[in-house]
């Protein structure tokens, strides 16, 4: 190989390496844009840029944003500790247009499909460890994705929210691993739900949603065990022939979100079967 050929080969290698290093990067403003919106990501601090990454896809609450979530040091710390890719979709208009929502700004299922496709092009995602979480209205997204896109994810965590009416009686995606966390003193999204905009819309009933998932998971009617996780009083619904995990946890507080619950749900889904 002559000197010129060697220099050109080295230059080509450096260009390729640079392109690989930047493959996961989104726009300079941090937004990963898809056809009907955008999402933001935080890769774990010790990631080598090559190893497949498990992912947490977190849906923010009403009037929040993806940027709000990514700015939270506690969420980034969870991702760094667990070696998890943190993915935060942004709700159009700082809300979500899920079934039953007062908003109808876009097709959220199509949006999530496009986020997943785009994410796979940018990062080596471990498809067997995808946890979807959401708070408040974001939890409504969690339940709807479990119901209609369950095959695309591994497990679900719904915090302080569920379906809005009309509440489904069954789900096309069938049995799922799901953790529900809710505050007994929650007045924003009570366990039984409440009317919105003079009754034009209504939040669903959390216990009814759990009952539906219990049936889908083929769990015996009276088979469950109680346990505690910090301030959470939990019920593990056992004996499900589907092999899925269904946990329902209550705490004495209100409309709250504790990032420690992400770690708890991660352990339930992937570490403590």
Instruction: Report the mean per-residue pLDDT for the chain.
Output: 92
**Does a structural domain hold residue 8?**
no
Residue 272 confidence class, pLDDT cut points 50, 70, 90: low
**Does a structural domain hold residue 1?**
no
**Does a structural domain hold residue 211?**
yes
Average pLDDT over residues 86-107: 99
Average pLDDT over residues 186-200: 98
Q: Are 163 and 207 in contact (CB under 8 A)?
A: no
Average pLDDT over residues 156-173: 98
Residue 222 confidence class, pLDDT cut points 50, 70, 90: confident
Domain extent for 107: 30-271
Q: Specify burial of residue 228 (Cβ count, 10 A radius: 0-12, 13-18, 19+).
A: exposed
**Does a structural domain hold residue 25?**
no
**Does a structural domain hold residue 105?**
yes
pLDDT score of 22:
44
**Does a structural domain hold residue 101?**
yes
In the chain, the number of structural domains is 1
**Does a structural domain hold residue 237?**
yes
Average pLDDT over residues 215-220: 96
Residue 95's CATH number: 3.40.50.1820
pLDDT score of 190:
99
pLDDT tens string 122-136:
999 999 999 999 999
């Amino acid at each position: 190989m002559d000197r010129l050929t060697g220099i050109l080969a080295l230059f080509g290698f450096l260009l390729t390496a640079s392109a690989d290093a930047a493959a996961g990067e989104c726009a300079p403003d941090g937004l990963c844009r898809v056809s009907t919106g955008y999402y933001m990501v935080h890769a774990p601090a010790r990631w080598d840029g090559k190893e497949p990454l498990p992912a947490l896809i977190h849906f923010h609450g009403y009037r929040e944003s993806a940027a709000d979530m990514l700015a939270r040091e506690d969420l980034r710390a969870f991702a760094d500790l667990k070696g998890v890719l943190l993915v935060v979709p942004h709700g159009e208009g700082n809300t979500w247009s899920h079934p039953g929502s007062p908003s109808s700004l876009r097709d959220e299922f199509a949006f999530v499909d496009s986020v997943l496709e785009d994410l796979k092009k940018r990062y080596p995602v471990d498809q067997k460890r995808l946890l979807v979480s959401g708070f408040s209205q974001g939890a409504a997204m969690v339940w709807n994705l479990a119901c209609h896109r369950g095959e695309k994810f591994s497990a679900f965590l719904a915090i302080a929210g569920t379906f809005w009416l009309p509440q489904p009686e069954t789900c096309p995606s069938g049995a799922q691993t799901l953790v529900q966390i809710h505050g007994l003193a929650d007045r924003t999204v009570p366990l039984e739900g409440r009317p919105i905009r003079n009754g034009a819309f209504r939040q669903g009933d959390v216990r009814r949603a759990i009952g539906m998932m219990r049936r889908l998971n083929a769990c015996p009617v009276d088979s469950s065990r109680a346990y505690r996780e910090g301030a959470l009083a939990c019920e593990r619904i056992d004996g499900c022939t589907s092999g899925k995990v269904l946990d329902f946890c209550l705490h004495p507080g209100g409309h709250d979100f504790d990032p420690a619950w992400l770690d708890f749900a991660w352990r339930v889904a992937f570490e403590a079967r």
